[in-house]
């Protein structure tokens, strides 16, 4: 499969920027090529043809954005910010929840403080939201969680799942997951006490951050 050309890279980047605000620089050329390569091979098309497909087909555009969005996360990432949480933070919006580690971290942290928050967790990626609702994670993603919290909120996997854990059902049901595009969708009408967006803002340029 041929690599994407500089001109094609620019077009792909423009689509990503216009659709979800992520600003891809030339340093991301090979990363983008690798991310979409699997999808291109599956469809049996060349990069130029794939460009026309995502420009015309909303479903394929969705698959493309799903492939290129960054989903690096783990439990209690950037947990120093959690110190701002107290019982006044009843309504929380996690704006780019990826596969669910951040909102579940916020939830269990609040439960440890003695209250149950209302958490809306959103993301642009359908596959990430599916993983978040499933709430099954490799044990290594729990490295920053205190052991007593792992015992309290998670179940150990067995058999082929022995290297994984699952959030207990009554805990995972406390978070509401929805698809949301920060750049294009109208913000929820609900008032929030605190909004977590740091780990998505880092991928935006200044004009998009201001917007």
Residue 119 has pLDDT above 70, yes or no: yes
pLDDT of 64-111, one tens digit each? 888 877 666 888 888 888 888 999 999 999 999 989 999 999 999 999
Find the mean pLDDT for residues 160-172. Answer: 93
Of 3.90.226.10, 3.30.1330.20, 3.40.50.150, 3.40.50.300, the CATH number of 79-201 is 3.40.50.150
Instruction: Please indicate whether residue 170 or residue 28 has the higher confidence score (pLDDT).
Output: 170
Q: What is the CATH number of domain 6-68?
A: 1.10.155.10
Q: Are strands 164-167 and 118-123 parallel, antiparallel or unpaired?
A: unpaired
Confidence of residue 1 (pLDDT cuts 50, 70, 90): very low
Percent of the chain with pLDDT over 90: 40
Q: In whole angstroms, what is the distance from residue 43 CA to residue 45 CA? A: 6
Say how many C-beta atoms besides its own lie within 10 A of residue 23's C-beta.
15
Find the mean pLDDT for residues 166-192. Answer: 93
Domain ranges of the chain: 6-68, 79-201
Residue 2 has pLDDT above 70, yes or no: no
Question: CB under 8 Å to 174, separation ≥6 — which residues?
Answer: 107, 116, 119
Average pLDDT, the chain: 88
Residue 31 has pLDDT above 80, yes or no: no
pLDDT of 83-96, one tens digit each? 889 999 999 999 99
Q: In whole angstroms, what is the distance from residue 182 CA to residue 194 CA? A: 16
Annotated catalytic residues are 35, 123
Asked if domains 6-68 and 79-201 share a fold, the reply is no
Residue 24 has pLDDT above 90, yes or no: no
């Amino acid at each position: 499969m041929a690599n994407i050309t500089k001109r094609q890279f620019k077009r792909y980047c423009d689509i990503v920027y216009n659709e979800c605000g992520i600003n891809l620089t030339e340093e991301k050329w090979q990363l983008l090529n690798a991310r979409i390569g699997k999808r291109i091979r599956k469809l049996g098309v060349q990069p130029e043809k794939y460009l026309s497909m995502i420009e015309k087909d909303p479903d394929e555009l969705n698959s493309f954005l799903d492939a290129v969005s960054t989903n690096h996360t783990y439990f209690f990432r950037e947990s120093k910010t959690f110190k701002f949480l107290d019982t006044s933070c009843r309504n929380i919006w996690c704006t780019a929840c990826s596969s669910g580690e951040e909102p579940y971290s916020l939830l269990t942290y609040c439960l440890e403080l003695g209250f149950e928050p209302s958490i809306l967790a959103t993301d642009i990626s359908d596959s990430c939201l599916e993983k978040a609702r499933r709430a099954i994670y490799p044990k290594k993603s729990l490295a920053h969680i205190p052991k007593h919290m792992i015992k309290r909120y998670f179940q150990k996997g067995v058999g082929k799942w022995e290297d994984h854990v699952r959030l207990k059902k009554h805990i995972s049901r406390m978070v509401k997951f929805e698809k949301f595009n920060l750049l294009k969708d109208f913000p929820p009408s609900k008032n929030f006490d605190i909004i977590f967006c740091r780990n998505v803002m880092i991928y935006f340029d200044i004009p998009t951050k201001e917007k």
